[in-house]
Chain A
Amino acid sequence: MSETIKTSVDIGGVCLANPVMTASGTFGYGMEFDEVLNLNRLGGVVMKGLSLFPSKGNPPPRIVETSCGMLNAIGLENVGIQRFIKEKLPAMKPFDTKVFINIYGKTVEEYAAIAETAEGVEGIHGIEINISCPNVSAGGLAFGVDPVAAATVVRAVKAKTSLPVMVKLSPNVTDIVEIARSVEGEGADSVSLINTLTGMGIDIHTRKPLLANVVGGLSGPAVKPVAIRMVYQVAKAVNIPVIGMGGIMTPEDAVEFMMAGASAVQVGTANFVYPDAAEKVVDGIEAFLKEKGMTDVNDLIGSVEV
């Protein structure tokens, strides 16, 4: 970016060259997008959610399009942390961007074990914890809907890693601020929000759910107002950086998230539609700053006037 405009942001122990990241689950392991955009232009990339062992994911159909969005129940298909480190991560090392792994487990111990496996591995700059998965030892209730369970996961991961830890919050809660405060209390370096909203669709001709998993996560432009509201509420309530996401398609959407209080943003579903979307958002934010005569992207953060 231009010399006269400061675009770098600090998101809790990680300095990004610009505030634009790609969201987990929408950007593969990064290299899939090497032929459609310049990975060096991105502030950061978040890898597809990784489990301790490879996971085959859900049966099809896994996705369905909805009004201005999509429902997915991929089931977190992934190669597992070990194969990721061996087979996927090396290709990302030459790029000048920050690589975050996204981790999930069915138990607190699994989260900790993944963090331990990633400890000291060159090329990983941070960990994003997905707490939206069912907690097997608590009867399948998601870690992310219970402030105590969420805090327990963060504590366990922090104990095993020296990397900055970002906690990805679920919007499927009554009070997201309570969860954010709880993980902040356990030393989370930042929070990212929102994960997908739980949804469902039915084929009225066959009377079958549209997804084999029956329910799935809603993403895309349809969720943006919900996400903006939650980012606004959380950013006011915590002292750690907030990374905003949910339906960002354009640079204007990203600026809106930053004004709501986000220090950085993640571009998600848009990567499927316009695989160069994240790079366009980087360019567009700078253009916006220029147009407004601003010299530091950090001046956007939380600048909404209520």
Chain B
Amino acid sequence: MKLSDCTLLWNREVSPGYYHMGLEAPERYNDAMPGQFVMLKAERGGTLLRRPFSIHDVTQRDGKTIVVLLYKVVGANTRVYGGMKEGEVLSMLGPLGNRFTEPEAGESTFLAGGGIGIAPMLLLARRMVAGGAKPADHTVFIGGRTQDDVLAEGAFRALGFPVVVTTDDGSAGEKGRITEPMARLLEEKSPSKVYACGPHPMLVGVARLMEGHSALCELSLETIMACGMGACMGCVVESSDTDQPYRHVCIDGPVFDARTITV
């Protein structure tokens, strides 16, 4: 069964408006794959439909499986989550969707997250390390409008990944777009796989940067979705395959090869 009531273990504001939430989850989440997501239901004060959230991390503590979510308070539902306390219960549907294609031995990769788009990259980084990847062979790019929007830097550094930070206003790291240092390091590092998640202009930028490059470029997308499990057909994106003009973000994605969709 994919539907569970999960108890909040912590819910901390890690940067203004951004929260790090730990939920006690069923054991099946130990097998959650990087790139997968959950649908949360906000009760009292939330809207009717669930909202999708990338799985940020999965850890174990005292024999418990803990699903970690990173979210930004942007509307009615996230305001409800932001006000929730340890011990409260959230209805969580998941894990849902497909996964990032993890690197083969010896391959190097780029993991790029803009703002809250960094969320799925931590589970990916952790699974890569568990799979034998050497963190030094990979590069994490974290972009934000300001230093407040630069998230999870410490977690990636703790795993041993080199991190490059950019901000629009220069308040942290390099001033400018995330694609600028990515473009610069592309020659030097020649990654085999480039993973990106973030705001639409960033995804467009990364897709353009990787056009004509031999690396696999995988984008994690978010769209409005009602069910998260392939029933409503509401969450489509346009595909480059004329036989299948629309792909469903919830079951065909959320991770797509950038060449197969119209970003």
Contact = CB atoms under 8 A, between A and B. Distances in A.
A69 B234 contact: no
Given A56-B246, A60-B246, A273 B50 contact: yes
B227 A56 contact: no
A32 B231 CA distance: 7
A60 B237 contact: yes
Interface stretch (A70-78, A139-147, A281-289): A70-78
Q: Which 3 pairs, one residue from A and one from B, show the smallest C-beta to C-beta distance?
A: A63-B234, A28-B231, A272-B226
B159 interface: no
A26 interface: yes
24 contacts: A25-B232, A26-B232, A28-B230, A32-B229, A32-B231, A36-B1, A56-B246, A59-B238, A61-B224, A62-B234, A62-B235, A63-B225, A63-B232, A64-B224, A65-B48, A70-B49, A72-B232, A72-B234, A269-B226, A271-B227, A273-B50, A274-B91, A275-B229, A276-B3
Interface string A106-145: 0000000000000000000000000000000000000000
Given A36-B2, A59-B246, 13 more contacts: A35-B2, A36-B1, A57-B236, A61-B223, A62-B233, A63-B234, A64-B224, A70-B226, A74-B234, A77-B233, A269-B226, A275-B3, A275-B229
A221 interface: yes
Contacts of B224: 61, 63-65
A237 interface: no
Interface residues of A, number: 33
B39 to A, nearest CB: 9
Contacts of A276: 3
Contacts of B225: 63
Interface residues of B, number: 27
Contacts of A269: 48, 226
B260 interface: no
B193 interface: no
Contacts of A251: none
A32 B230 contact: yes
B48 A68 contact: yes
Contacts of A19: none
Contacts of A65: 47-49, 224
Contacts of A220: 48
Contact of B1 (A35, A60, A62, A274): A35
Q: Is the interface of B mostly helix, strand, loop or mixed?
A: loop
Contact of A273 (B2, B49, B237, B245): B49
A26 B231 contact: yes
A275 B93 CA distance: 9
B48 A33 contact: no
A84 interface: no
Contact of B233 (A57, A61, A64, A70): A57
Interface of B: 1-3, 41, 47-50, 91, 93, 223-227, 229-238, 245-246
Interface in A173-227: 220-221
Contacts of B223: 60-61
A63 B226 contact: yes
Nearest to B244: A56
B231 A272 contact: yes
Interface in A29-81: 32-33, 35-36, 48, 56-57, 59-65, 68-70, 72, 74, 77
A62 to B, nearest CB: 5
Contacts of B246: 56-57, 59-60, 77
Contacts of B93: 36, 275
A104 interface: no
A27 interface: yes
A74 B232 contact: yes
A74 B248 CA distance: 12
A169 B174 CA distance: 60
Contacts of A28: 229-231
Nearest to B91: A274
B185 to A, nearest CB: 34
Contacts of B229: 28, 32-33, 36, 275
A25 B223 CA distance: 19
